[in-house]
Amino acid sequence: MQKLPFKYFNYDNRVQSLFFSFCMIACSSVLAAETSSGTSADDESADSHLQKALAYYESGEYATAILEFETVLQLDDLPPDLHQQAEIYAEVAEEYLAGRSLQPTGYAIIGGGNYRENSTSAGSGETNDAFLKLRGGGRLNYTLSEDSSLNGTLDYRFRAFSDSDRRNDSDLRWNGSYRKRFDDNNLTAGVRGRVSYRGEGTYRNDYGVFSTYRIAVDEDDQITLGAEFRRRSYPEGRLRSRSRNIAEFDFNWTRSLQDGKASFSLDAFGGWENATQNRLDGDSNFYGLSPTYNFTLNDQWGGYVFFWWQNDRYNSERYSSEPPDDNVAVATRNDDLYELGGGLTWEFGEGWSLNPEILYIEDNSNIVSVNYSSTEIWLTLRYDF
């Protein structure tokens, strides 16, 4: 089969262009923020931002409070409920205001659910397994100065299926970063990765560098620019050909709604993959969108709904289906990947919550054999501390 060139320019040039564009945007924003910080009489201290955020929190404007908290603090892997997110931020903010340089937080999750493969080429519809779900992790924020900090996270996820012939899921994710504040905005740079079990004694390793620049447009709006360059490596085994280098750019807009009782977030992203081990479908480019709506019903109940879409375009020709299919053709692979999900949160005690959730996945491709669909539903008990 023929490997086709991408329409505009090769992978290396695209990566360089992406990196250069992001650096220009980030550096320009940083310089503008520094200039503003040095000349404005209205600059606010970290304490002032956190006290304002706590006032929003106390008045029930949770989404607005979170945006204000994030001017100074950054906490990952939070629960989906806005009230719980603001509550955790408020606890960390009080530690900060009390003069404690180290602010640790953590969480533990246990639950169960059901996984079903729908009737598609890659999913027969016969798989219908119950599973046990475990997750735990923690965060460490260390204040270096009034406008800078070090941040680290560790997150482990495990899922065991009732079918003994099916492999269990095991995934460890880590993150370390430096964060610098410029009045209302901030810049983060760091490293992150994950180790995932893929069955038959093999593991997938992801590691890379990333940077984000967060811009507080006003008290209800936030924009975040991000870039990441990572390696996805399958060291050995039948999946080794999937190893690749990935460059990705991200734009996110978050808005507080309904007097801080809800928020809407829109994420737009795109990038390129360089297949380093002769992947059958070759190199690819991708882009996508993901809107999310979080809402609060009261101090105990909240929820969320999200949609995620990604288009993948590859550059190596292959058969669209296996002979003797009468419709077999030679084509380059083009996938549309969809996820639709949502859930509710019931906070029934300090740090305790119960979370029913559902997730629908569908992968549509012109390569018939990779079409896939599944539905998952689960209920988890979560404790944040």
Summarised one tens digit per residue, pLDDT across range 85-96 is 999 999 999 999
Rounded distance between C-alpha atoms, residue 375 and residue 339, angstroms: 10
Asked if the model's pLDDT at residue 60 lies above 80, the reply is yes
Which band of pLDDT confidence, cut at 50, 70 and 90, is reported for residue 165? confident
pTM attached to this predicted model:
0.84
Mean pLDDT of the region 241-260 = 96
Asked if the model's pLDDT at residue 32 lies above 80, the reply is no
pLDDT tens, 363-379? 999 888 889 999 999 99
pLDDT on residue 56: 97
Which band of pLDDT confidence, cut at 50, 70 and 90, is reported for residue 147? very high
Instruction: Give the chain's mean pLDDT.
Output: 87
Which band of pLDDT confidence, cut at 50, 70 and 90, is reported for residue 26? very low
Least confident of 162-176, 263-277, 305-319, 320-334: 320-334
Mean pLDDT of the region 141-161 = 95
Identify which has the larger pLDDT, 186 or 280.
Answer: 186
pLDDT on residue 180: 96
pLDDT on residue 214: 96
Asked if the model's pLDDT at residue 249 lies above 90, the reply is yes
Is the CATH number 1.10.3720.10 carried by domain 11-384? no
| 189 contacts 156 by C-beta, under 8 angstroms | no
pLDDT on residue 36: 42
Asked if the model's pLDDT at residue 66 lies above 80, the reply is yes
pLDDT tens, 255-289? 999 999 999 999 999 999 999 888 888 999 999 99
Tokens representing 73 are 């603090």
Name residue 354's amino acid.
Answer: L
